Amino acid sequence: MRKRRTHRLAHGGLAALACMIGLGASAADPAPILVVQSEQSPEYVASTTAFRNSSSAPTIVMRADGAIDRARQRIRELARERRPVAVFALGAQAAALANAELPDLPMVFAMVRDWQARGLERPGAAGVTLEIPVDDLLTRYKLMLPKLRHVGVICSADTPARFLASANEAAQRLDLQLVVEKVIAPSDVASAYKRLRGDIDALWMIPDPGVVTKKNFAYLADRTRNDEIAFLAFSESFVQAGALLAVTPSYATMGSQAAALVERLLDSAQRRDQPFVQSPLGTRSVINAATARAVGLTLDATLMSMADVIIDPSRAATRR
């Protein structure tokens, strides 16, 4: 009993802080944290659930999809009526909205690609990146596919040069060779793949909007299967649609990580003038068993043990 009471006292800082800064909270009614989601998706739900379970403060959840003016009005109403002490924003639209409408509140964002270009670098902001460090990502690929040697990448001008440089360095440390084809427009992707396919044993699809379209994905998923080339994607949905393998952030872990960052922001001793952004702490490996069989990959015990989710169209997905 004493241990439980100590735990509660250690995590009671949010309510106390809310009182100190005049947000009208009391011990019975502590100031809440506003959770803003860009949309309703399984990833956002998993992250929000973990955040709420990890937070010592109550939460209010709203979606920022639909008409942007309506979302702005809703967030203003919640700010006026409920007086949140901080914001957890999931997705680029939610982060932009919270940043614009509540610029003085501490904010933690997550699941925002290229966050540096979205005006989120301000005092009182923190975040969890969507991108897994490239060293960790390629290491996981190599562990799961030990015969991997030559990895193709199709990219456009939207892919930062710093990313390609760090990917090349990481690949060299793992005895991998990146074979890069650059395209000017999405319509050039098929030609780029044809130039690559004889020189690679895997195609790594990176989150490049100048490359990744519905049409291009369908083409690459089909061609890599026929050519027995491992198709490495960046989200579970692409693996469900036919890619071989993806290593993604653990969205639940991301929510718990964000809750810890909110606590840190609300501790005045931890305030910083510049944002502090962390890589996701947890990852999940997803593999498509049907695609594995099509490209001649043996689903042995070692590979199966490394997969957190195994998707097989002939069976229900296995989740661990």
Higher pLDDT, 174 or 270: 174
CA 52 vs CA 17, 41, 108: distances in Å: 18, 16, 14
The predicted-structure confidence for 114-161, as pLDDT tens digits, reads as follows: 787 788 888 889 999 988 999 999 999 999 999 999 999 999 998 888
- The CATH code for residues 134-248+283-319 is 3.40.50.2300
Does residue 155 sit in helix, strand or coil?
strand
Asked if residue 318 has pLDDT above 70, the reply is no
What pLDDT score was predicted for residue 1? 41
What pLDDT score was predicted for residue 302? 85
Range list for CATH 3.40.50.2300 in the chain? 2-130+251-278, 134-248+283-319
For every residue of 17-50, DSSP letters joined together read: HHHHTT----SSSPPPEEEEESS--HHHHHHHHH
Listed range (15-24, 90-99, 196-205, 233-242) with the worst mean pLDDT: 15-24
> Tokens standing for 2?
């004493």
On whether the CB atoms of residues 97 and 123 are closer than 8 A, the answer is no
With a CB cutoff of 8 Å and minimum separation 6, the contacts of 172 are none
Pairing, β 202-204 against β 150-155: parallel
Mean per-residue pLDDT, 294-320: 81
CATH level 3 topology of 2-130+251-278: Rossmann fold (3.40.50)
The predicted-structure confidence for 36-76, as pLDDT tens digits, reads as follows: 999 888 889 999 999 999 998 999 999 988 788 999 999 99
* pTM (predicted TM-score): 0.76
- Share above pLDDT 70 across residues of the chain, in percent, rounded to a whole number: 86
With a CB cutoff of 8 Å and minimum separation 6, the contacts of 87 are 33, 34, 35, 36, 98, 102, 105, 106, 107, 108
